[in-house]
Structure 1
C-alpha cells in the first residue's frame, strides 16, 4: 500500500491553511510612493541687440574681361610659350606662328619701297628741270604736264609701297601673339604644327581676375526701403553707397568689401527686380568666374532688435511658438511673430517681453504648466561677422 496519496493530501491542507496568513501579511504592507523627477532645461534671456540689417541675394561671379584669343594671320603654329592655367601679364608672349612667308613678304615690300623711292626721286628731278625749261620756252606745256603727272604718279606709287611695307610689318608682328591684358589663361585649344586660320581658330581663353564682378537681382522693395531709411536718418545715401559682402558656397565670407558699380535703368516687370553688379578688387584671386555666391548688402544705419535663438522656435498648426520659464519655474507657451534671420537667431517682432527666459535645450522634456529646473545657456550671441 502506497503512502504517496496521503502525503499529497497533507501538503494540500498545509497550503490551504497558510494562504490566509499570506494574504493578511500582504494587506499589512503599503506600496512606496515614487519620487517625482523635475526635468532640467537651459534658457536664454530675451535681450535687445544692436545690429546692421542686411539683405542677401544669390549672385554669380563674372570676369571683367573674358576673351577667346585668335590669330590675325594664317600659318602653322610654331611654339607655345605659356603654362596652362597660370597667371600671365599684359604683353607676355603666348604663341608664335611660322613667320617665314611674312618675313619674305616684308623683304619684298622693302624692295618695292626702294624701287618706288628711286622712281619718285628721278621724277622730282625731271620736273624741276622742266620748270626751268618751260620758262624759257624750251619745252612745250604738254611736256611740262607729263613731267608733273609722272612726279605725282611716282609719289602715289611710293605711298602705296610704304603702305604695303607697313602691312607686311604688321602681319609679321601678328605671328607673335601676346597677352592683351593680365589674367589667368586657360587650356590651349591648338598644338604645335596645327594650321591656324585667322579670326576663326580659337587658340586659348584668357580671363581678367582683378577686379571681379558679381551680378545679382535686387528687389524693388529693397531700393524703396533703403531710400526710406536714408530719409529717416537724414542721410544722403543711395544704393551705390552701400557696402557689399560676399559669401562663398562653403559658408565662408570673403575678406574684401565690394561696391556697386552698375544698376540697370529699369525694373524687370516680370520679376520686380533690378539688375545690379558689384565689383571686388580680388587681389588674392580667390573669386573665380562663373561661381554662384551670396551677395550681402548692409543697411546704412544700426538698428536695435530683439533676437531669439532659432533652435528655441517650434511650430505647429497654430504657428510658431517658444516655451518660456516664469518666476515660479513653470513652463509656458508663447506664440511669436518672427522677422528676418540673423545667423543662428531670429528677429522677434511680437510675442515676448525683454527679460523673459526662453528654453533653448531640453524642449522635449518641458511640458506646458509643469515645473522645471533651469540654468543659463552659454551659447554665444549673434555675431554679424558670422552672417
Structure 2
C-alpha cells in the first residue's frame, strides 16, 4: 500500500526536473522560413491615342410644330374621324361640326346675291337710257345724277352680297376641321354632341415629329474653345457645320446625325450659356417630344491624347490617383489630373509620362512600395466594349 504513493512522488519529481529542459530545448530551435508570394496584377502602358474631341450637353427634344386644334365656328360636334394617338397626314379630316345653320346661311346669301344682281342690272339699264336722254336734253342733270348714283349703290350692294356669300361658304367649310400638317395626334378633348365654342374649345393636340428639334445650352468656355479651334483649323468652319449626335437615357445612340439650325444671338447673363438648337430628320419617328437626351458635338479635327481606363483610377482625400509599376516591379502611387471622358477612358492631363505601366486589375492586392508580378492587360484603352 505504501509503494504506489512513493512511486508517484518519484515520477512527479522527475517530470518537474525534465520539463524545464524540454522547454529550453524547444526555444532554441528555429522555425522554417515561409517564402512570400508576390501579388499578381495586370497593367497597361500609357500611350498616345488619336481621338476626335467631343462635348456632351443635356438637351430636351421639342416638336417642330405643336398645336392645340380649335374650331373657328360654333356648333355641336357631329363626328370624329381619327384614331387617338395615330399618325395623321396633312389635310386629313379630323372633326365635323353640325353644318346645318351654315348651309342655311349659304342659301340665304345666294338669294341676296341674286336679288342684288337683278337690282344692279336694272340700275345699269336705266343709267344707259339716261345717257341717251341727257344728250337730247330730255332729262335734267339732276335726274341723270340720280341714275348714276343708283347704279353705283346697287353695284356696292351686289359686292357686299357676294362678300357675305363668300363668308358664309367659308364658315361652312370651317365645319370640317382638317389636319394642318402631318404628325401624331393626341387624345380628343371633346365628344360627339359637345357644344364647340370658336377659338376657345380645345379639340385635340397635334405634334409634328418629322423633323424633331433638340434644345440645349452651350457654356461660355465651349463657345470660346470653339472659336479658337476654328481659327487654328486649316479649313474655316463654324458651329453650324459641326454634326450633332444623340444619346438616349438608356445609353443607346440615335442612328441619325443632326445639324445645328439655330444659335441664339446672346449669352444668358444668369446662366452663362448660349441657347442652341439641333434638327434631326427623325424619319422613323423614334424621337418623341419632351425627352431628355444627351447631345454630342464632335470637333472637326483629330487630336493625340493620353488615355487611361476608368477602372485604373482611384480617389481619396488627396484626389484622384493611379498605381503604377516601375522597372523594379515596385508599386508607386501617382496623383493625376484628368480631363474629358471618352467612352470607358479618361483623358490624362497631368501625372504620368508616356510608357509608364498603370495597374488595371489587382488593385486590391497591390500595396505602395511592395513588389508585384505583372502581365500586360489585353484590353486596350478606349475600347467601349470593356466593362
Judge same fold: TM > 0.5, yes or no: yes
Quick one: structure 1 residues 341 and 292, their matched pair in 2 at CA, closer, same or farther if it must change by over 3 Å?
same
Pick which of 136-145 and 290-299 moved more: 136-145
Partner of 1:286: 286
2: CA distance, partners of 1:362 / 1:279 = 46
Q: What is the aligned partner in structure 2 of residue 239 from structure 1?
A: 239
Per the alignment, residue 272 of structure 1 pairs with 272
Count of paired positions: 386
Deviation at 1:378, TM superposition (A): 2.5
SS in 2 for 1:138: coil
CA drift of 1:60 comes to 1.3
Contact 2:87 2:184 survives alignment (8 Å): yes
Give the Cα separation in 1 of the matches to 2:69 and 2:317. 61
Match of 1:42 in 2: 42
Other-structure match for 1:173? 173
Which position in structure 2 is the counterpart of 1:202? 202
Q: CA deviation at 1:220?
A: 2.0
Whether the 8 Å contact between 2:307 and 2:381 is mirrored in structure 1 is no
Q: CA deviation at 1:323?
A: 0.8
- SS class of match (2:103): helix
In 2, Cα distance between the equivalents of 1:109 and 1:7? 147
Distance 1:166 1:30, change over 3 A: same
Greater Cα offset, 318-327 or 210-219: 318-327
Q: Could you give the per-residue CA deviations for residues 161-214 of structure 1, whole angstroms, max 9, x where no partner exists?
A: 111100010000000000001111111111111100000001111111111111
Identify the range of structure 1 (22-31 vs 96-105) with the bigger mean alpha-carbon deviation: 22-31
- 2:67: which partner in 1? 67
Displacement, 1:158?
0.9
Q: Is the 8 A contact 1:51 1:384 kept in 2?
A: no
CA RMSD between the two structures? 2.3
1:1-387 correspondence to structure 2 within 5 Å: 12=12, 15-16=15-16, 19=19, 22-23=22-23, 26=26, 30-382=30-382
Contact between 1:230 and 1:300, CA under 8 Å: does it hold in 2? no
Using the TM superposition, name which of 99-108 and 372-381 deviates more. 372-381
Q: Distance in 1 between matches of 2:106 and 2:8?
A: 135
Report Cα offsets for 1:301-345 as digits up to 9, x if no partner: 110000011111122333322111122222122222221121211
- 1:48, 1:305 within 8 Å by CA — same for their partners in 2? yes
* Equivalent-residue separation in structure 2 for 1:153 and 1:216 (angstroms): 62
Within 2, Cα distance between the matches of 1:164 and 1:67? 30
TM, length-normalised to structure 2: 0.93
Please give the secondary structure, in 1, of the residue aligned with 2:334. Answer: strand
What is the CA-CA distance between 1:145 and the residue it aligns to?
Answer: 2.0
CA offsets 1:92-146 (integer angstroms, 9 cap, x no match)? 1010000111111111111111111111112212222222222222223222222
CA contact (8 A) 2:338 2:346 kept: yes
Counterpart Cα distance in 2 of 1:156 and 1:6: 157
Q: Does the aligned pair in 2 maintain the 1:213–1:280 contact within 8 Å?
A: yes
For the residue of structure 2 that corresponds to 1:83, the secondary structure is coil
1:38 and 1:20 map into 2 onto residues whose CA distance is 41
137-146 or 329-338, larger mean C-alpha shift? 137-146
8 Å CA contact retained: 2:65, 2:207: yes
List alignment gaps of at least 5 residues for structure 2: none
1:70-106 per-residue CA deviation (whole Å, 9 max, x = no partner) reads: 0000000111111111111110101000011111111
Deviation at 1:39, TM superposition (A): 0.7
SS at match of 1:82: coil
